[in-house]
Chain A
Amino acid sequence: MSLLVDKWRPKTLDELAYHEDLSERLRALAQTDFPHTLFYGPSGAGKKTRIMCTLKELFGPGVDKLRIEQRTFLTPSKRKIEINVVQSNYHIELTPSDAGNWDRSVVQEVLKDIAQTQQVDLNAKKRFKVVIINEADLLSRDAQSALRRTMEKFTANLRVILCANSTSRIIGPIRSRCLLLRVGAPSEAEICKVLAYAAKKERLSLPEHVATLLARISQGNLRRALLSLEALHTQDPTFKTVSASHSLLTGTKQSASDLDSVPRPDWEKYAGRAAEKILGEQTPERLLEVRGMLYELLVHCIPAPLIISTISKRLMDRVDEEIKADVVYWAAFYEHRLRLGSKPIFHLEAFCARIMSVYKQHLLGIGFD
């Protein structure tokens, strides 16, 4: 069985359930030629789905015939790198950041190759081909620079669609060459609508309060909401474990058990437990224990920045108003260091130690700056 997320994924702009004005805009843009674009927005907001729908609008059903291939490049230093590409007759999709430090070579090789050949399918609705670049905000500056002139010189043959979580790390010259399209996260009501639709298609009866709860904990991430729906349904087909008076639904103060009683991914629950451990006792022994948990998360490939932000969110839910600002201060501080540094565990552990110290001082009523 394919996952719910994929099974009922909209295929055309008309099927998209929210941001109708944006869909309208994309339809208008697709009518004539199409500019280079940069889709940005939080993850799970449906950027990729929207891009694929736009492609369909541009080229018709041919874009659904996808092939996945592996391409090999030689870097200037004669090192072989391999990268997966997904393509149809009209477009090619790649994630250059997969190639790590060699992302510039990927951009140089693939893009120029495509840019310098013309569309041969004379019946194609557009003269250009589209290159979709995923995780554009993770591209190195060099890789981004390599895009610049190519985007200008080959406008006759090529359109670039960049997909990113944020525009902050996209260099100015690239932003200047793209039309920026913001894809905001769907609202709670919109997520509920999509969940209800998927439930109907799957013929399961989904109580309204369960949908609302799933939407609320998904924090605007539609993919996550759908995945949780599926997971919850497998565990509890009638949804009887979710109470209609859950504190997250009524807006009352949340206890630790409330926070744990909602369907979340396992790793997130685990990170939540690490946060509780920090608040439970502030000793070197406990820090050692927490460190073990951090390692466990890292081993399961949870990105370190996500670990910090998840733990800090949980902490902010649980600590007193007076020290919430300190929690976010240190979270922001160590998350930044983590990005610049090379060993994630150092910074994760330092963060936890710092929070323990701050929290303990707070408990003892000692003032600090």
Chain B
Amino acid sequence: MAPSSTTQKVDAFAMMRQAAAGKKPSAAAEASPPKASGSGSSSKAANSGGPAVAPMFKPKGSGLGAGPKHVADVENQPWVEKYRPKNLEEVSAQDHTVQVLKKTLGNSNLPHMLFYGPPGTGKTSTILALCKQLFGPELFRSRVLELNASDERGISVVRDKIKNFAKTTVTTNHDPNYPAPPFKIIILDEADSMTQDAQSALRRIMESHSRITRFCLICNYVTRIIEPITSRCSKFRFKPLDVSSTELRLKEICLKENVDCPDDALRALIKTSDGDLRRAITYLQSASRLHSATTPPTPLTAISVQEIGGVVPDGVMAELAKALGVESGAEDVEMGEPSGRTVGAFETVQRAVEKVVREGYSATQVLTQLHDLLILDPLVSPRAKAKIALTLGETDKCLTDGADEELQLLNACAKIRKAVSEAA
């Protein structure tokens, strides 16, 4: 989003309501042109509609200081935003990247860059922090352009936006506290959702503006970026956060926010968030909300963290494993039948699966946990494990393609049951 357009945001709701008040839907369509195409025109439409209804949401930034206004309160900010690193020092765990980037603060050059890595590892935070440290608040708007997947990124739109942005020359007088090197930075966040065509066009754009601009592309999957682009960039890999960095950061937040988080809960947080610090922080805040709502407030527990993280409880997993013919030392589960009819092996599996699905646990989560449970179980033969691995792989692929969860899970479980019983 171009910074300048925010000030002209128009209340779409009011327009929609006006349109609905008297006119037919087709007229409503004309009264609300998509905002991509128009800038100021739509605000006129809204005003000329008469005083039918007071607007519910007013344009951001309009009427600053005029009358009471909600003030941004830092207190109620989600912690992920509140604790977003403000400078490179604060970025945890990505030591190599941070080290290299810090050097660029000293000299006035910067290569094109490509940041890649799983969600919540600090990619967006790092580039924003770097830009802040390079330019300071004054110059930030004129020197940094952020385009992400929420913007229309067709080739022509991207080309226009970049052209416009790169057009103005960089000024040299600036706040002496910041290095402010003589170039502009264009951040293309979530670049892996750009089409191949847009990427090829981008490559030309990168070349033609390279004197005055540096690009930073950010993505989760580096393989989705075309080679001609990757080869023009210095690549930085963002690793999933290691246990000790996550722990350190979480403890820091607990201290500042006065959260009573015992060790087992902390361990559960680290385990369920799986190297994704954003997730860890979100879980921490949610868990602390729950526990501070009780009277008197209670310390966090591993159980509540797991529930928040969507982990299937051990008891449920043990029951499922038992239905699959794997006895992992769990206590006996009732499989009795009121009529005394014997229940076949398949039906036992079917019921166990049905139960898990009804509880709403996601099939991928169940498979992940089944994997952990079975692959480590010394009583399951290596041959069975090999077959189970095949099944899990196939099923995961089908689920990603959007196949029915219950059918897939049932099929996988039936196959696992067969693999386990054949080997026994």
Q: Which residues of A contact B (CB under 8 A)?
A: 25, 27-29, 31-33, 35, 40-42, 45, 67, 69-74, 76, 80, 82, 87, 89, 92, 107-114, 116-122, 127, 129, 137, 141-142, 145-150, 152, 155-157, 165-169, 172-173, 175-180, 182-185, 219-220, 250-253, 305, 308-309, 312, 316, 321, 324-325, 328-329, 331-333, 335-336, 339-340
Contacts and interface: CB of A to CB of B under 8 A. Distances in A.
Contacts of A147: 150
A252 B415 CA distance: 27
B47 to A, nearest CB: 15
Contacts of A137: 402
B424 interface: no
B9 A80 contact: no
A168 B400 contact: yes
A312 B17 CA distance: 48
A25 to B, nearest CB: 6
Nearest to A337: B403
Contacts of B142: none
Interface string B19-51: 110000100110011111100000000000000
A175 B220 CA distance: 14
A296 to B, nearest CB: 22
B230 interface: no
Given A42-B357, A176-B282, A177-B282, 20 more contacts: A28-B292, A31-B289, A32-B76, A32-B289, A35-B285, A67-B17, A69-B19, A71-B28, A89-B56, A111-B150, A122-B69, A142-B149, A155-B81, A166-B362, A166-B405, A169-B400, A180-B308, A251-B341, A332-B404, A336-B398
Q: Which of B189, B193, B345, B415 has the most CB of A within 10 A?
A: B193
Interface stretch (B57-65, B169-177, B369-377, B382-390): B57-65
Interface stretch (B86-94, B102-110, B117-125): B117-125
A324 B151 contact: no
B403 A339 contact: yes
A71 B32 contact: yes
Contact of A340 (B149, B292, B354, B401): B401
20 contacts: A25-B290, A28-B290, A32-B289, A40-B360, A41-B360, A69-B28, A72-B28, A113-B12, A119-B70, A120-B58, A149-B146, A168-B363, A168-B400, A169-B402, A175-B279, A176-B276, A176-B279, A180-B310, A325-B346, A325-B414
A332 B310 contact: no
A332 B411 contact: yes
B150 A70 contact: no
Contact of A109 (B36, B72, B282): B36
B68 interface: yes
Contacts of A184: 358-360
A141 B150 contact: no
Contacts of B418: 325
Contacts of A173: 119-120, 190, 220
B60 A118 contact: yes
Contacts of A308: 404, 407
Contacts of B16: 69, 71
B393 interface: no
A132 to B, nearest CB: 15
A305 B404 contact: yes
B346 A168 contact: no
Interface of B: 1, 6, 9-13, 16-17, 19-20, 25, 28-29, 32-37, 55-60, 68-70, 72-73, 76-78, 80-81, 118-120, 124, 146, 148-152, 154, 157, 189-190, 192-193, 220, 276, 278-279, 282-283, 285-286, 289-290, 292-293, 308-310, 337-339, 341, 344-347, 350, 354, 357-365, 398-408, 410-411, 414-415, 418
B363 A166 contact: yes
Nearest to A75: B34
Contacts of A180: 308-310
A40 B282 contact: no
A119 B341 contact: no
A45 B358 CA distance: 9
B399 A168 contact: yes
A291 to B, nearest CB: 21
Contacts of B404: 305, 308-309, 332, 335
A120 B193 contact: no
Contact of A82 (B29, B76, B120, B410): B29
Given A116-B6, A122-B70, A253-B341, A321 B347 contact: yes
| Shortest beta-carbon contacts, A-B, top 4 | A28-B293, A41-B360, A72-B29, A145-B149
A129 B398 CA distance: 36
A19 to B, nearest CB: 10
Given A67-B20, A108-B150, A220 B358 contact: yes
Contact of A80 (B20, B29, B283, B289): B29
A329 B413 CA distance: 11
A328 B56 CA distance: 53
Contacts of A127: 70, 73, 76
A175 B283 CA distance: 12
A159 to B, nearest CB: 10
Contacts of B365: 167
Nearest to B293: A28
Contacts of A113: 9, 12, 35
Contacts of A309: 404, 406-407
B83 to A, nearest CB: 13
Contacts of B192: 145
Contacts of A40: 360, 362
A41 B362 CA distance: 8
A250 B290 contact: no
Nearest to B67: A122
A145 B193 CA distance: 7
B152 A76 contact: yes
B401 A339 contact: yes
Contacts of B290: 25, 28-29
A147 B190 CA distance: 11
A72 B32 contact: yes
Contacts of A67: 17, 20
B36 A74 contact: yes
Nearest to B285: A35
A117 B61 CA distance: 9
Given A27-B293, A168-B405, A149 B148 contact: yes
Contacts of B407: 308-309, 312, 328, 331-332, 335
A149 B338 contact: no
A117 B410 contact: no
Nearest to B286: A179
A27 B59 CA distance: 31
